[in-house]
Amino acid sequence: MSKHKNLNSMFGGIIAMLLVCAPSFAQEYTKRTFDWDAETIELFQTLPVQADGRVKPMDSIAGLNLLIFNGKRTLKLEDGTRLSAPEWLLDVMFFPEQAKTYPCFRIQSDEVLVAIDIPATGKRAWYSYNDLLPGLERLEAQGSKISAIDSKQRNATERQIIKLARDIHEFKDLVGAMAIARFTFNTESTPTFQDLLGEKRPGISHLLEKAAAIQAVVASSRDGANPADFNAAQALFGQLDNALQLNQHGLTFLPPPATATDQDTWWRLADLILARFQGVPDLELQMELYASLEQLEQVKTDPEAFKSGLRAFHDNIVAAAEARGEYGKIPLEVSLYKADVFWNSLYLFMLGFLLCGVTWMAPRQRWLWWLAWACVLGGFTLDVYGITMRCIIRERPPVVTLYDTILFITSSIVLVSLLMEWLTKQRIALPVAAILGAAGMFFAGKYELEEIKSAGDTMASVVAVLDTNYYLAIHVTTIALGYAGGLLAGGLAHVWVLAKLFGFRKNDKSFYQGLTRMTYGVVCFSLLFAVFGTIMGGVWANDSWGRFWGWDPKENGALLICLWFLVVLHARMGGYIREHGFMVMCILGAVVVSMSWWGVNLLSVGLHSYGFTSGALFALITFWAVEVVFILISVGQRLVDGWNGPSPPIAK
């Protein structure tokens, strides 16, 4: 905005005036008549763009935006065609009128449509920009009205209206990213500039080349010596201001020149125009990139010419990014999303669990058991691979955001379970690893969207207090290991309770004793890491906020885990609980972990504001309700059994 003011001041505020000559946006509906070929897509998706505080591939921009709008990283059109995220973004940028007909906005409630005066069909959940066009004015008004309401007080429909309004803005910004490259000036009524620019409808790159000459004309006409030139300049810059408006929030894909004041922040196309007229030197590369984009726009209906133009643009921009040391991780990030490791690990965990189930029916088929092992190990490997790639891309330890915690905790649970299975060979821990691994990855997939909606990315920049890899690596990972242990102990306790309920291996004492020993070991594991992580968190707080312990909700959540498992261990040592009581308390331990992990973040109170979230309340309440029912069934069964003798003590 301030840069716009600079331009205005150059011409005494004349830019704000109504346009004398109407600009041309070349908005005629150009339809794409070919499929994007693989090389074009690859060139496009590996273009570097700066967003959310880091340089990331265009592929991530496309994927994240489509996921937010559509709920998926791919888009199914009405004719059944499926577009990948980069294909969709290519269309948005180069064939916007066509992209406006794609049903990419997911609307979950008809009440949203009613609120913006769009007829609800009752069947469709996906709408195109053009479908929503008649209601956009009303959407804007509704959005402004709802923004004034405290976010905690908004109902579900209001939240969805706000989201839709934001999505439409984002969509317009993506369209605007290239709109400025389509812009041409009308110089027919301004002969001075027509002569100077040599064209009736020059593009912006042409204008930029002649910037010095244009400024000379403006300077010479300022004192009233040449009113015609002065008026022509007014008209020209009026149009230019209009062009700048198109690109106020678009993509930042121009690396700044070495002469720029802020070397870290990449430029939008509009920033280049301002810099050029402000006399910033050494803009050759940026102007060449701009001209390439205009060229791309002109040849977009010819797939081969487009590909070759895109290749030239890609190579130039990649070379510039590489020279700045900002390109190295782009291919890695593209490959990470392409491999879709986390969903694939979910499928492997599910398959592993199914195979475990089959082995229960055919226990002598050892190859099935080893296949189950391979599947779970494969799922775990994919999970760890994904986490490692994310660490490399961000140059951060594995756990930074809430989404990271799900991935890390899931892989920790699977790893500990696999180690237990390897040690005990009782065929208990492997199915537990598979089912908890699948549940964790499913939850991660569902929560990813929530995090992207609030932070824009699951690898977003961190607030200043988190800018310390030492504490992030030690405190956050250890506390997450504590959570993992607590959840795994709860998972094993479920197995014990279910086995008792259905009389599984009823007379096999060693089975139940083995299970209890495992659970006990996992509780100790959880307590060790929870205590270390909690106190380490206090040490961090002492260095960043000036106090070791402040009774902040997040700190209290961690303390609750420590207190609960201390109660469990001491009650067991004192003989107040036996096997059954121990298992019930472990299930409650999982509830306590969920409270600490998610519950306190939903309160939106305290210093850990970077961890606040929403959208997980329903899942959390469902989890608690299921656990309460589980405990009631278990206790009920024990009562029905008539307390036939005490539950055995825990084997040492």
Nearer to other proteins, 298 or 461 (CB): 461
User: What number of other Cβ atoms are within 10 A of residue 74's Cβ?
Assistant: 14
Phi, psi of 92 (to 5 degrees): -60, -40
Q: According to the binding rule CB under 8 A, does residue 549 interact with other proteins?
A: yes
Q: Which stretch binds other proteins (CB under 8 A): 133-141, 337-345, 459-467, 623-631?
A: 459-467
Q: Which stretch binds other proteins (CB under 8 A): 10-18, 37-45, 83-91, 557-565?
A: 557-565
Nearer to other proteins, 437 or 557 (CB): 557
Nearer to other proteins, 24 or 248 (CB): 248
Among 560, 586, 590, 593, binds other proteins (CB under 8 A): 560
Q: According to the binding rule CB under 8 A, does residue 318 interact with other proteins?
A: no
Nearer to other proteins, 53 or 445 (CB): 53
- The set of residues, in sequence order, having a beta carbon less than 8 Å from that of 623 and lying 6+ positions away, is 591, 594
Nearer to other proteins, 421 or 448 (CB): 421
Q: According to the binding rule CB under 8 A, does residue 265 interact with other proteins?
A: yes
Q: According to the binding rule CB under 8 A, does residue 517 interact with other proteins?
A: yes
Six-digit token pair at 81?
């065609």
Cα–Cα distance measured from residue 263 to residue 280, given in angstroms and rounded to the nearest whole number: 13
Q: According to the binding rule CB under 8 A, does residue 617 interact with other proteins?
A: no
Six-digit token pair at 538?
């206090």
Nearer to other proteins, 43 or 588 (CB): 588
Q: According to the binding rule CB under 8 A, does residue 264 interact with other proteins?
A: yes
Three-state SS across 106-122? ECCCHHHHHHCCCCCCC
Q: According to the binding rule CB under 8 A, does residue 527 interact with other proteins?
A: yes
Shortest Å distance, C-beta 628 to other proteins:
16
Containing H/E element for 55? strand 54-57
How many binding residues for other proteins (CB under 8 A)?
Answer: 62
Nearer to other proteins, 21 or 528 (CB): 528
Nearer to other proteins, 37 or 264 (CB): 264
Contact present, 494 and 633 (Cβ < 8 Å): no
- The set of residues, in sequence order, having a beta carbon less than 8 Å from that of 210 and lying 6+ positions away, is 196, 197
Cα–Cα distance measured from residue 12 to residue 7, given in angstroms and rounded to the nearest whole number: 9
338-351 b/e (C-beta count within 10 Å ≥ 16 → b): eeebbebbbbbbbb
368-383 b/e (C-beta count within 10 Å ≥ 16 → b): bbebbbebbbbbbebb
What single-letter DSSP state applies at residue 133? G
Q: According to the binding rule CB under 8 A, does residue 521 interact with other proteins?
A: yes
Cα–Cα distance measured from residue 452 to residue 84, given in angstroms and rounded to the nearest whole number: 18
Q: According to the binding rule CB under 8 A, does residue 605 interact with other proteins?
A: yes
Give the SS3 label for residue 212: helix
Q: According to the binding rule CB under 8 A, does residue 546 interact with other proteins?
A: yes
- Which of 452, 522, 471, 465 is CA-nearest to residue 492? 522
Give how far Cα 379 sits from Cα of 232, 288, 302, 428, 468, Å: 66, 46, 43, 18, 30
Among 2, 281, 507, 551, binds other proteins (CB under 8 A): 551
Phi, psi of 82 (to 5 degrees): -115, 125
Q: Which stretch binds other proteins (CB under 8 A): 3-11, 351-359, 481-489, 599-607?
A: 599-607
Among 553, 601, 647, 650, binds other proteins (CB under 8 A): 553
461-480 residues near other proteins, rule: CB under 8 A: 461, 463-465, 467-468, 471
Phi, psi of 331 (to 5 degrees): -60, -35
Contact present, 262 and 256 (Cβ < 8 Å): yes
Q: According to the binding rule CB under 8 A, does residue 378 interact with other proteins?
A: no
Among 538, 580, 584, 647, binds other proteins (CB under 8 A): 538
Among 425, 446, 505, 506, binds other proteins (CB under 8 A): 425
Among 7, 23, 36, 54, binds other proteins (CB under 8 A): 54
- Cα-trace Rg, the chain: 30
Nearer to other proteins, 305 or 571 (CB): 571
Cα–Cα distance measured from residue 485 to residue 481, given in angstroms and rounded to the nearest whole number: 6
Q: According to the binding rule CB under 8 A, does residue 15 interact with other proteins?
A: no
Q: According to the binding rule CB under 8 A, does residue 603 interact with other proteins?
A: yes
Give the SS3 label for residue 83: strand
Cα–Cα distance measured from residue 277 to residue 215, given in angstroms and rounded to the nearest whole number: 8
Among 105, 266, 342, 380, binds other proteins (CB under 8 A): 266
Q: According to the binding rule CB under 8 A, does residue 535 interact with other proteins?
A: yes
Shortest Å distance, C-beta 398 to other proteins:
19
Shortest Å distance, C-beta 220 to other proteins:
37
Q: Which stretch binds other proteins (CB under 8 A): 25-33, 373-381, 394-402, 573-581?
A: 573-581
- The set of residues, in sequence order, having a beta carbon less than 8 Å from that of 409 and lying 6+ positions away, is 440, 480, 483, 484, 487, 597
- Which of 259, 258, 254 is CA-nearest to residue 288? 254
The residue ranges that bind other proteins (CB under 8 A) are 50-54, 252, 264-266, 423-425, 461, 463-465, 467-468, 471, 517, 521, 524-525, 527-528, 531-532, 535-536, 538-540, 542-553, 556-557, 559-560, 563-564, 566-567, 570-571, 573-576, 600, 603, 605-606
